[in-house]
Structures are given as C-alpha cells and as structure tokens.
Amino acid sequence: MVGCESTSELRLTPERVERARVRVLDQLPDLDSPSRDMIRTNAPKTAFVGLPFGGAYTFSWTISSNRVARLDVNNSLEHLESASVRIQE
C-alpha cells in the first residue's frame, strides 16, 4: 500500500529541518544570494510517501517563480547527509 502522510506525521524536528537546509545550501554553492536567503528564511514544503519496504521524504523550497530547490531522502531521515539535492524548474 502506498500512502502519503501529512507533515505532522513526518516527525520533523527543527533539528532535522535545519540539517536538510544545511545539506541543500552545501550542495548548491552557486545559488545566487536571494535564492540562498529564501532557503535560509522559509520553512520547506515537506512530503512523505510510505512504501512496504521504506519510504521517501521530500523537502522543497521555492527559490523563484519557476525554480524549486529539492532534497529527496530515501528510507530514513537519518540519511539526510547523503540525500540527493537538485534544482527543479
């Protein structure tokens, strides 16, 4: 069964959100200052998709009218340090 859970069910602590934010900023060093400020000051949109063998977490920050900085974590929020980061247009 596949399901989506709300942010409140993600057990997102301020520390985990900050770790995600740091990961995104570290992996995207060439972002312009306004985009970096958007990531630093705004809360991310979050999502979780549960699967029988684990799950996938997504953190995303809108950084312009047509771009989103996105961090995808598979299986566990403990793996934030190795999560993939990308710009989605």
12 or 47, which is more confident: 47
Please give the helix or strand (H or E) that residue 53 lies within, else none.
none
pLDDT tens-digit map of 31-88: 999 999 999 999 999 998 877 777 788 999 999 999 999 999 987 777 788 899 999 9
Query: What residue spans of 31-76 are helical by DSSP H?
Result: 33-41
pTM score, whole prediction: 0.81
Answer yes or no: is 89 within a domain.
no
**Helices and strands (DSSP H and E) totals, the chain:** 2, 5
What angle, rounded to 10 degrees, do the helices at 14-27 and 33-41 form? 170
pLDDT at 59: 95
pLDDT at 11: 67
Closest CA to 76 of 4, 7, 10, 3: 10
Owning domain of residue 29: 3-80
pLDDT at 8: 41
Say how far apart CA 5 and CA 14 lie, in whole Å. 18
Answer yes or no: is 86 within a domain.
no
Answer yes or no: is 25 within a domain.
yes
Say how far apart CA 36 and CA 25 lie, in whole Å. 7
Total of domains in the chain: 1
